[in-house]
Amino acid sequence: MEQLTVATTPIEGQKPGTSGLRKKTRVFMQPHYLENFVQAIWTAIGGVQGKTLVLGGDGRYFNDRAAQVILRMAAAGGAARVIVGQGAILSTPAASNLIRQRQTDGGIIMSASHNPGGIDADFGVKFNTPNGGPAPEDVTNRIYEATTKLTAYEILESQDIDLSTLGETRLGDMVVEVVDPVVDYAALMEQLFDFDAIARLIAGGFTLRFDAMHAVTGPYAKAILEDRLGAAPGSVMNATPQPDFGGGHPDPNPIWAKPLVDLVMGPDAPDFAAASDGDGDRNMILGRGVYVTPSDSLAVLAANAHLAPGYADGLKGVARSMPTSRAVDRVAVARGLDCYETPTGWKFFGNLLDAGRATLCGEESAGTGSDHVREKDGLWAVLLWLNILAVTGRSVAETMQTHWAEFGRNYYTRHDYEALDKQLAEGLMNGLRVRLPDLPGQVFAGRRVAQADEFAYDDPVDGSHSAGQGLRVVFEGGARVVFRLSGTGTEGATLRVYLEDFVDDPARLDMAPETALADVVAAADQIAGIRTTTGRDGPDVTT
Ligand code: G6P
Ligand code: ZN
């Protein structure tokens, strides 16, 4: 087999965002594009000579081709072994688990998460470090640096490697080990949760639906929920992963998983329903007649995790991203837990989890997880919910009511303005940034601003500083608005407006969120002039 050194030149824009490098699939398919980025990863981690890596992806279009390229480049770089999910498939949490369990030097995950898949949709590549988590900023900065200086990459010339058969093969001197993507992950879940209690709940007539959205969690959910826990066949919907996710948008929220939401709001609602995203790290939790916001889900899990065997000794602490509602903070105060506020991006939880400062983490963007891996984990959240319901015997609706009665309710919604002109969006943020110091004391839609600042984070473990992480305006009485530009989009800019209000008056715990938040929404628009600046009547997506 011949090892080739291919001359190349830096390609602009290969800067990893919130979660690795995400681009249009056709961009990734351009000559040298993927190769340049992979070579830059190798450079950033000091090469792959003698190393063991994990490789897998969510099965989207180009996943199979990219896997072959990455394997050839790993072999050319002298890697000792690459552990690959069968068919180059691994959910993101399963990849994180394998990286940790097999004590590897990290791994590469091929996914654009919840973004659509297909030749005209999105693709992505992300490097995870040996702790199983997304590379922290110093590593992603080094990767970017390297992309700007490349002159060549190394690749082995070979036939495609068979990734459909379990077992070991060789690629040059490197071992390619093809593993079942589900088995180790399912075993980990069985350690954390009381599978017998959940199975008894289901055997007792409790019904559930899990929407895999034609994405990677199908096989995982079928193996665990149907085969192991006894949910009726067909409880897992859209269970066969497809390269274009059935033409859908594999994002588990009330917009993109609307059929599931309609189901739980209708006459044939199951007791419990959930969905996950393209690569299996996000989750949406529903009950009969109820949608649980991700922020509330995190709070409920924090308050009840001790009911599951894996968390029976209690939590070391909890963490949430800054724009996530402060519902979990109330649980932390009541239970005497440390509570951390980090920038958006799961990578910021890594140090807290590694240092044993936090056990549970979550984000408003439908991510919840714990220290069992270093990624958020969709099915894990589903199983923890089921474990809690099995122990308490409560419905999802009763669980929420009990929770709000004890801790109060943080009404919450997020408004997204998508595909905005980049300069216009940046202009809006810059304009607002300079006005922040003047806001305190001013009244918008009847709400007086108490505090306004730009969020920055000092990591308490490694001391690293992350600036420019979102503009926040806090009102007297506990309402809050956060303005932020998304770091995961692939088209123009997405402005996210996160809206929250806290209520503990027992008579006001059961309002429709849009009613409860109406004046906070109006205040946000007045403060930032969103409608006038963007020319849009309202958000494209409301979650
Ligand atoms: C990905 C990341 C999350 C992040 C989310 C939204 O799912 O893994 O950590 O919260 O994207 O990020 P964005 O920058 O688009 O708001
Ligand atoms: Zn995802």
- Mark out the alpha helices in 11-154 (DSSP H runs): 25-28, 33-44, 63-76, 92-101, 137-147
Same domain, 298 and 390: yes
> What pLDDT is stored for residue 157 in this prediction?
95
Same domain flag for 349 and 372: yes
- Label residue 17 by pLDDT band (50, 70, 90): confident
- Mean pLDDT, the chain, integer: 95
State which amino acid sits at residue 539: P
Nearest-10 crossing angle of helices 422-435, 518-528: 100
Given 19, 91, 111, 113, which residue is catalytic? 113
Same domain, 395 and 417: no
351 is written with which tokens? 């140090």
Poorest-confidence range of 17-21, 432-436, 481-485?
17-21
Centroid of chain to Cα 102: 23
Percent of the chain with pLDDT over 90: 92
Is the domain of 143 the same as that of 13? yes
Task: Check: CB of residue 22 under 8 Å from CB of residue 488.
Answer: yes
Pair (391, 440) in one structural domain: no
| pLDDT value at residue 19 | 79
Angle at 295 between CA 290 and CA 298, to 5 degrees: 95
Last residue of a domain, one of 181, 204, 222: 181
Radius of gyration of the chain (CA): 23
- Going from the Cα of 278 to the center of ligand 2, the distance in angstroms, rounded, reads 6
Q: Which of 354, 379, 407 is the last residue of a domain?
A: 407
Residue where a domain stops, chosen among 140, 164, 181: 181
pLDDT digits (tens, 9 = 90+) for 310-344: 999 999 999 999 999 999 999 999 999 999 999 99
| CA dihedral over 315, 321, 327, 330, signed as positive or negative | positive
Please report, rounded to a whole number, the percentage of residues in the chain having pLDDT higher than 70. 100
Work out how many domains the chain is built from and give that number. Answer: 3
Q: If you measure from the C-alpha of residue 345 to the centroid of ligand 1, how many angstroms do you get, rounded to a whole number?
A: 5
Co-location of 144 and 36 in the same domain: yes
CA 429, CA 425: separation in Å to the nearest integer?
6
Predicted local distance difference test score (pLDDT) of residue 534: 85
The residue count of the chain comes to 543
Q: How is residue 440 written in tokens?
A: 């305190």
Specify whether the CB–CB gap between 217 and 276 falls below 8 A. Answer: yes
- We report the CATH number of the domain holding residue 81 as 3.40.120.10
The pLDDT assigned to 488 comes to 74
- Judgement on whether residues 420 and 399 belong to the same structural domain of the protein: no
Give strand pairing partners of 482: 472, 498
The preferred substitution site among 484, 488, 540 for testing ligand 1, maximizing ligand atoms within 8 Å of CB, is 488
With bands split at pLDDT 50, 70 and 90, how would you rate the model's confidence at 490?
low
> Closest-lying ligand to the alpha carbon of 22?
1
Is 325 one of the annotated active-site residues of the chain? no
In whole angstroms, give the CA distance from residue 244 to residue 63. Answer: 11
pLDDT score of 532 more than 90 = no
Q: Residue 535: is its pLDDT beyond 90?
A: no
Look at the pTM and tell me if it is higher than 0.90: yes
User: Do 65 and 82 sit in the same domain of this protein?
Assistant: yes
Q: What is the mean pLDDT of residues 47-57?
A: 98
Residue 522: band (very low, low, confident or very high) from pLDDT cuts 50, 70, 90: very high
User: Rounded CA gap, 399 and 327, in Å?
Assistant: 14
Same domain flag for 166 and 192: no
User: Do 378 and 243 sit in the same domain of this protein?
Assistant: yes
What is the model's pLDDT at position 100?
97
Q: Do the Cβ atoms of 240 and 246 come closer than 8 Å? A: no
**Res 185 pLDDT > 70:** yes
Residues 6+ apart with CB under 8 A from 222: 236, 239
pLDDT for 136: 87
Starting from the CA of residue 16, give the closest ligand: 1
386 and 396 inside one domain: yes
Q: Is the predicted pLDDT of residue 248 greater than 80, yes or no?
A: yes
Give the tens place of pLDDT for each residue, 102-160: 999 999 999 999 999 999 999 999 999 999 999 988 899 999 999 999 999 999 999 99
Residues with CB under 6 A from ligand 1: 18-19, 113, 321, 344-346, 363, 365, 367, 486-488, 496
Domain range enclosing 251 = 185-407
**DSSP-assigned letters across all residues of 449-504:** EEEEEE--EE-TTT--EE----EEEEETTS-EEEEEE-SS-SSSEEEEEEEEEEE-
How do residues 399-449 score in pLDDT, each as one tens digit?
A: 999 999 999 999 999 999 999 999 999 999 999 999 999 999 999 999 999
**Structural contact between residues 96 and 373, judged by C-beta atoms closer than 8 angstroms:** yes
Alpha helix ranges (H) inside 222-309: 258-265, 294-304
CATH number at residue 521: 3.30.310.50
pLDDT above 80 (res 388): yes
Mean of pLDDT values over 479-484: 97
CA angle 519, 483, 456 (to 5 degrees): 130
Indicate if 220 and 119 belong to the same structural domain: no
Give the 3-state secondary structure of residue 283.
Answer: strand
Q: What is the pLDDT, as a whole number, of residue 51? A: 98
Strand partners of residue 55: 84, 108
